[in-house]
Amino acid sequence: MKKIHLTSFSEQDFGAILTQYKYNLHPGDIIAGTIFHQESQGFLVDVGASIAGYLPVDEILLSSCNNRYDFQYFVNHTREFFILAYDKHRKQLLLSIKRLDYIRAWKRIKQLESEDVILDVSIFNLNKGGILTVLEGLQSFIPKSHLITFTNYEFMLKYHLPCKLLLADEKNNKIILSHKLALLDLYSNLLKIGKFVYGQIIQIKQYGIFITIYGIPALLHISEIGPQYIENINHTFQIGNKIKVKIIHIDMKQARLSVSRRELV
């Protein structure tokens, strides 16, 4: 694949660079060009004296959340393009910015995945299953199961969320993020196995109690409540109460904790 790294250069320098191609271009190549004319559904691109390029509007933006972009500033803009195909009849190259940005975005996402960093992402839409956001220009998703409990999701649209990559599947163009994993990382000094912490009861089941600790869900199983069997948990605990527990397990895949009170009774 041929690739040019563009810096500040004159029109004469640009012509010299194009001459080096000798128009031996193929789909998948990256080429430099200057957008010189806007049409109803795309732009004409100058990529040399005897060959033209066409950039459809659908091949410009990587993410649909940028659909309000003002394209008027594209004319006279010089940059790199990805060659999608070559129309022999029209002697015209079909170009794409979106495909080039897509390739570069996945390279950055794979790097972020290897570094296991906390990401600060904005929220642009909500649905029943969770939150839609954008990472490196690509649509990504935060499932409800990996969010702390919010009563007003519309309120969250004004804010950014710290997240970590849960899944980065380039083959299926699927990116899943976790807010809870980021919280586990941020509170790593406080949330350690063997630590005693306070949590608030949010749900009581026959098999145990669900509590939140710094927004992270935790299960206090009935077998870990005390040395003796409790026939009716509701007689001892109430929703909303804060209780002291010991962290006995951290599930990094599901971003949840297991806790115990056996040493506190």
Please tell me the distance from the alpha carbon of residue 233 to that of residue 5, in angstroms, as a whole number. 67
Give pLDDT, residue 67.
55
172, HSE (Cβ side, Cα atoms, 13 Å): 7
Cβ–Cβ under 8 Å, residues 138 and 175: yes
Give pLDDT, residue 221.
93
Could you read off the pLDDT of 72-88 as tens digits, one per residue?
A: 778 888 999 999 998 77
Give pLDDT, residue 84.
93
Query: What is the average pLDDT across 7-15?
Result: 45
Residue among 141, 148, 133, 187 at smallest CA distance from 166: 141
Between 3-17, 23-37, 194-208, the lowest mean confidence (pLDDT) is in: 3-17
Give pLDDT, residue 87.
78
Report the mean per-residue pLDDT for the chain: 83
Percentage of the chain beyond pLDDT 90 is 43
Give pLDDT, residue 10.
47
Which letter does DSSP use for residue 103 in this model?
A: H
Between 110-114, 149-153, 169-173, 230-234, the lowest mean confidence (pLDDT) is in: 149-153
Could you read off the pLDDT of 146-172 as tens digits, one per residue?
A: 887 654 555 566 678 899 999 999 999
Our measurement of the distance from residue 16's CA atom to the centroid of its chain's CA atoms, rounded to an integer in Å, reads: 40
- Has residue 2 got a pLDDT over 50? no
- Has residue 219 got a pLDDT over 70? yes
Q: Which domains does the chain have, with CATH numbers?
A: 11-96 (2.40.50.140), 106-184 (2.40.50.140), 188-260 (2.40.50.140)
187 burial via Cβ count (<10 Å: 0-12, 13-18, 19+): middle
201, HSE (Cβ side, Cα atoms, 13 Å): 18
Could you read off the pLDDT of 16-37 as tens digits, one per residue?
A: 544 554 556 788 999 999 999 9
Please tell me the distance from the alpha carbon of residue 18 to that of residue 52, in angstroms, as a whole number. 12
13 versus 140: the higher-pLDDT residue is 140
Structure tokens at 233: 């948990």
Highest mean pLDDT among 34-48, 93-107, 120-134, 215-229 belongs to: 93-107
- Give the list of residues 6+ apart from residue 9 with CB closer than 8 angstroms, or none: 17
The neighbouring-strand residues paired with 10 are none
Give pLDDT, residue 51.
76
The neighbouring-strand residues paired with 204 are 209
Q: What is the dihedral of CA 110, 190, 254, 146, to 10 degrees?
A: -80
Residue among 178, 181, 132, 128 at smallest CA distance from 157: 132
Alpha-carbon distances, residue 157 vs 88, 124, 160, 245, 248 (angstroms): 48, 6, 8, 33, 35
